[in-house]
Copies of this chain bind each other. A is one copy, B any other.
Amino acid sequence: MLEEQDAALLSKIDTELANKTMPLGALGQLQALAKQLALTQQNLFPSIQAAHLLLFAGDHGIAHEGVSAYPQEVTWQMVRNFLAGGAAVNCLARGNQLALRIIDAGVAHDFSDVKTPDMVHAKIALGTANFSKQEAMTPEQLQQCLRVGAQQVRALPKECNVVAFGEMGIANTSSAALLTSRITGFALADCVGRGTGLNDAQLKHKLSILERANALHATATTPEQYLAAFGGFEIAMMVGAMLQAQRQQLTVLVDGFITTAAVLVATAIEPRLKPLCVYSHQSAETGHRLALAYLDARPLLQLDLRLGEGSGAALALPLLRSACSIMSEMATFSSAQVDQANP
């Protein structure tokens, strides 16, 4: 699959890494990451510039079926929390030098009082339709999501070369579970998890609702049809943004289960997105492990996170910077006059 240009660069990267003052391969997955970033940037000495987190928020009609431990109002309340800087992702993004933009993709709340440039008003509607009864969104709404998502990436500063993704949307593990199951072929029951903290009875209820919805939308067969069927607006916008990131050859830093569901859809549409994706972590949500396995992804962190928001992406970003520093700052055996391994 590698193009000729990439094969030549890959060979240069391997030589450079082999000459660094350490045993061959001694930095394990960090070296693999360095290689990936060098290939993405087509530069032997990659760097992380103006990393941005795009946090898409949207509401879900399916929330009215009692599939989440939290009331739907928490979506807009958390958006206010993001804007005030008090959520987990704010702390983690600040501490790890990740700029944050909030996009209202379709929250069931009026944010017209919010004037800060950190918030993008791109509301498609006051939440998706209840997909246990009908399609989550119309074909027109889907196209609008994809277009507006792409705009968010085009609007990033020119120097930005890493775009991280996060989301907020009560009940969106339901959409993610269905998208994951339909695209990967894993059984829906294996893709449905406790989300923000369902108990056994609530989990059983969630699964029964989603099984019915799955049957209702049995005729959907393309990635776009899955998106329209199950939503949500925030996931569809992430897909549009990821497709644009592919066109701009940006590194896509993936967060948890919901974001990975968007990657499943986006890579099904455009497989050339795959080599650009860096998977920040493997979450505690059941379906995430399966989605990562399907994508042949090796996540950087395994911290049993199950928060979303882009929190895992923020936590992983320093590893990307470290990987770059290995390429650009480390001495070689000859420059440092260090002996190589015994023959």
Interface residues of A (CB under 8 A from B): 20-30, 69-71, 73-74, 77-78, 80-81, 84, 86-88, 90-92, 94-96, 196-197, 284, 300-307, 311, 314-315, 318-319, 321-322, 325-326, 329-331, 335-342
Known: A28-B284, A318-B96. A21 touches B86 (CB 8 A): yes
Closest Cβ of chain B to A19, distance in Å, is: 12
A81-B303 in contact (CB<8A): no
A318 and B314 CA atoms in complex are apart in Å by 10
Interface centre among A91, A300, A314 (most CB of B within 10 A): A91
B residues near A314, Cβ cutoff 8 Å: 322
Tell me which of A71, A197, A303, A306 has the highest count of chain B C-beta atoms within 10 A of its own C-beta. Answer: A303
User: Which of B26, B73, B306, B339 touches A28 (beta carbons < 8 Å)?
Assistant: B306
Alpha-carbon distance A304/B84, docked complex (angstroms):
39
Chain B residues with CB below 8 A from A20, complex form: 88
**Nearest B-chain residue to A319, judged by Cβ:** B315
**Are B70 and A339 in contact, CB atoms less than 8 angstroms apart?**
yes
Contacts of A302 in B (CB 8 A): 302
Residue of B nearest to A20 (CB): B88
Contacts of A197 in B (CB 8 A): 23-26, 341
Partner of A95, one of B21, B322, B340: B322
A41 to B85, CA, bound (A): 26
Chain B residue nearest to A311 in the complex (CB): B27
CA distance A30 to B70 in the complex (A): 22
Q: Complex Cα distance A286/B340, Å?
A: 23
Listed by A's residue number, 8 A-B pairs whose Cβ atoms lie within 8 Å are A22-B88, A27-B303, A69-B342, A81-B331, A92-B322, A95-B325, A315-B318, A318-B318
Chain B residue with Cβ nearest A335: B86
